[in-house]
Amino acid sequence: MSIQGVHLIAGEEIEGEGTLRAINPVSGLELEPTFAEATAENIDVAVLAALSVHESRSASDPEQRARLLEAAAERIEALGSEITARGMQETGLPQARFEGERGRTCHQLRLFASVVREGPFQKPVIETALPDRQPIPRPDLRLGMRAIGPVAVFGACNFPLAFGVAGGDTASAWAAGCPVVAKGHPAHPGVCELVGRALQDAVRDVGFPAGMFSLLQGESFDVGTQLVQHPGIRAVAFTGSRAGGIALWRLARDREVPVDVFAEMGSANPVFVLPEAMQTRRQEIAEGLAASVRLGVGQFCTCPGIVVIVSDENASAFRDELSQSLCSEPAGTMLHLGIQQGYRDAVEQLVTRGGVEVIERGPPGDGSCAAGASLLRVDFASFIADPAMQSEVFGPGALLVECNSPEEFLEVARVLEGQLTATVHASEEELSQMKPLLHLLEDRAGRLVFNSFPTGVEVGEAMQHGGPWPATTDSRWTSVGSAAMDRFLRPVCWQGFPDGALPDELRTGASGMRRIDGHWQESGNS
């Protein structure tokens, strides 16, 4: 299979004009072919095909959707070495990482297949009729979750597979029964096309209408704008920069019928190290932190960019150990020039803020996208006074915030903006004394981590990958884990309908866990 530079629209390869080429971040050289730029007509065809699938309820059979998700995983695995070779060229990611991410992507698809089969996402609630109730009878009421309709997916550049065209957003939208129109990422359009072809084949494999999936390529903001503004789009999922996410969110809010943009925009993921933990596990924490910051050259949305410590007798040694672990390694290659420049600029900006000092910088490396680590420090008062210091530094940099006492941690927590994660290193004794800190952090983050590090986002049922603004646009939803489906479902109540007209899971005697007349029941007998 070769990469053609086309759009994949409802089962068809659509050629077009454009100037976009991928650039190898290691060599700086352009890659073939040239990719088409989606037109308003391309977008319209893709969205209307998706809408037709939705309105005809062609994707309403959960078993068939489970098979689609499994077929997608198989098709992606069958891409074999071609996707890895192209991925390494487009992203500079090492082979093992790219292959590992493919494994995670296929795991996600299969996880959603199992969730769709088992059905816990349906959350059926049934209240049977009480015709003799006084003063008024109760009708039969059945509440179930229904697919919201076509979803536009904007993948991330830092996880070209796991948060890409076949990533968690597409998997969860499909799992919910929603057709997907994906926008290819201009940094890795070849990977997008290969994955898109795999998804297109999977749709065909299991006999869904082709409108269940389309891939639109393009590098201009217009493509994304027109896609989000199309009235047939019912929700948008985005992973990427704050500027990009908020821009799409505004566009979607300004539609005649506004829709949600579930944007995951990353965060600084603060880590608080309490004195006893520092005393007993200083070196382990320094090394773990450095590894977490350096993972993927700092290009993880859960990369810990702010580390809060007490400036006590351990601080100096901690600084040295963290500096040694973080900055002695060679530079890494970032995903593309824009990200590398963004990292460099963010560090330079931070250094200009009052009270910020450079502790150490790692070797800058060669190559257009090379980036060395940075470790900066600032005192408590300067940090508290300057919200600009909280800006995410997307890359392998960390800012040490040095407090005079653990009590000042409360003030740091209080001024923090919304985060994906917040981490506490503490003894159990310290933890029990710092409940107010946990309360503040709970208000500011979607996931709290104890005595570990925030990178490594488990794809399961108990994950929350989404925090208060501006980490995500809405803290009530997650973009990782099975609950990601909930973003694309809405509750509908059926009142007084005969069994045959109800969704399967709401019918009398349907299987699965349901809430019936105020009680949980494993298999229904309403």
Which position among 77, 222, 443, 504 is part of the footprint of its own copies (CB under 8 A)? 443
Residue 120 C-beta: closest distance to its own copies, Å: 7
Among 331, 347, 440, 510, binds its own copies (CB under 8 A): 440
Q: Return the residue of 313, 496, 511, 523 that touches its own copies, per CB under 8 A.
A: 496
- Residue 407 within binding range of its own copies, rule CB under 8 A: no
Asked if residue 113 binds its own copies (CB under 8 A), the reply is no
* Residue 517 DSSP class: T
Considering only 29, 351, 385, 492, the residue that binds its own copies (CB under 8 A) is 492
Smallest separation (angstroms) from its own copies to the CB of 463: 6
Nearer to its own copies, 204 or 490 (CB): 490
Name 379's bridge partners. Answer: 402
Query: Which DSSP string do the residues of 134-185 spell out, in sequence order?
Result: SSSPBPPEEEEEEE---EEEE--SSSTTTTTTTSHHHHHHHHHT--EEEEPP
Can you name the residues that pair with 183 across neighbouring β-strands? Answer: 154, 216
Q: Is the CB of 135 or the CB of 509 nearer to its own copies?
A: 135
End-to-end CA distance of the chain: 53
Binder to its own copies among 86, 183, 447, 507 (CB under 8 A)?
A: 447
Footprint on residues 31-60 left by its own copies (CB under 8 A): 54-57
> Based on the number of CB atoms within 10 Å of its own CB, is 424 exposed (0-12), middle (13-18) or buried (19 or more)?
buried
Q: Which stretch binds its own copies (CB under 8 A): 176-184, 201-209, 255-263, 352-360?
A: 255-263
Q: Does 94 bind its own copies (CB under 8 A)?
A: no
Active-site position among 70, 90, 264, 408: 264
Residues within window 138-157 making contact with its own copies, judged by CB under 8 A = 138-139, 141-143, 146, 148-149
Q: Where on the phi/psi map is residue 205: left (φ > 0), alpha (ψ -120 to 50), or beta?
A: alpha
Nearest approach in angstroms of CB 507 to its own copies is 14
Bond prior to 363 in cis (omega within 30° of 0):
no
Of 125, 151, 156, 416, the one binding its own copies (CB under 8 A) is: 125
Q: Which of 19, 81, 243, 257 binds its own copies (CB under 8 A)?
A: 257
Question: From the CB of 431, what's the least distance to its own copies, in Å?
Answer: 5
Active site residue 157: no
Applying CB under 8 A, among 126, 173, 334, 389 the residue interacting with its own copies is 126
Cα separations in angstroms, 392 against 37, 132, 253, 264, 377: 31, 61, 25, 13, 15
Secondary structure in 3-state letters for 131-144:
CCCCCCCECCEEEE
Among 438, 484, 485, 510, the residue binding its own copies under the rule CB under 8 A is 438
Hey, what are 208's tokens? 């869904």
Site for its own copies in 57-76 (CB under 8 A): 57
Of residues 187 through 216, those in contact with its own copies by CB under 8 A are none
Q: Residue 90, SS3?
A: helix
**Site string (298-327) toward its own copies, x via CB under 8 A:** ------------------------------
Nearer to its own copies, 86 or 507 (CB): 507
Buried b vs exposed e over 403-414: b needs ≥16 C-beta within 10 Å?
A: beebebbbebbe
**Listed residue (384, 452, 435, 391) closest to 414, CA to CA:** 384
Least Cα distance to 272 among 489, 452, 432 occurs for: 452
In terms of DSSP H, where are the helices of 78-148? Answer: 80-91, 95-118
Q: Which helix (H) or strand (E) holds 325?
A: helix 315-327
Catalytic residue, from 106, 157, 178, 301: name it: 301
- Min dist CB 163 to its own copies, Å, is 18
Rounded distance between C-alpha atoms, residue 6 and residue 15, angstroms: 5
Q: Which is nearer to its own copies, 221 or 450 (CB)?
A: 450
Pick the stretch among 40-48, 79-87, 272-280, 438-446 that binds its own copies (CB under 8 A): 438-446
For 235, residues 6+ apart whose C-beta sits below 8 A from its C-beta are 148, 149, 151, 152, 173, 178, 259, 260, 261, 262, 487, 488
The 8-class DSSP code of residue 281 comes to: H
Task: DSSP letter for 34, please.
Answer: P
CA max distance for the chain: 80
For its own copies, which residue of 5, 478, 479, 507 counts as binding (CB under 8 A)? 478
Q: Which of 463, 484, 485, 510 binds its own copies (CB under 8 A)?
A: 463
Of 214-222, 237-245, 356-364, 510-518, the window that binds its own copies (rule: CB under 8 A) is: 510-518
Nearest to its own copies of 375, 485 (CB atom): 485
Amino acid letter, 500: G
Touching its own copies, residues 415-434 (CB under 8 A): 417-418, 428, 431-432
Write down the least CB distance from residue 479 to its own copies, Å: 12
Known catalytic membership, residue 301: yes
Nearer to its own copies, 239 or 475 (CB): 475
E-assigned strands of 311-431?
332-333, 357-361, 370-371, 374-379, 397-403, 419-425
120 contacts its own copies (rule: CB under 8 A): yes
Q: With respect to its own copies, which residue has the nearer C-beta, 26 or 513?
A: 513
Closest CA to 188 of 38, 20, 74: 20
Residues identified as active-site: 264, 301
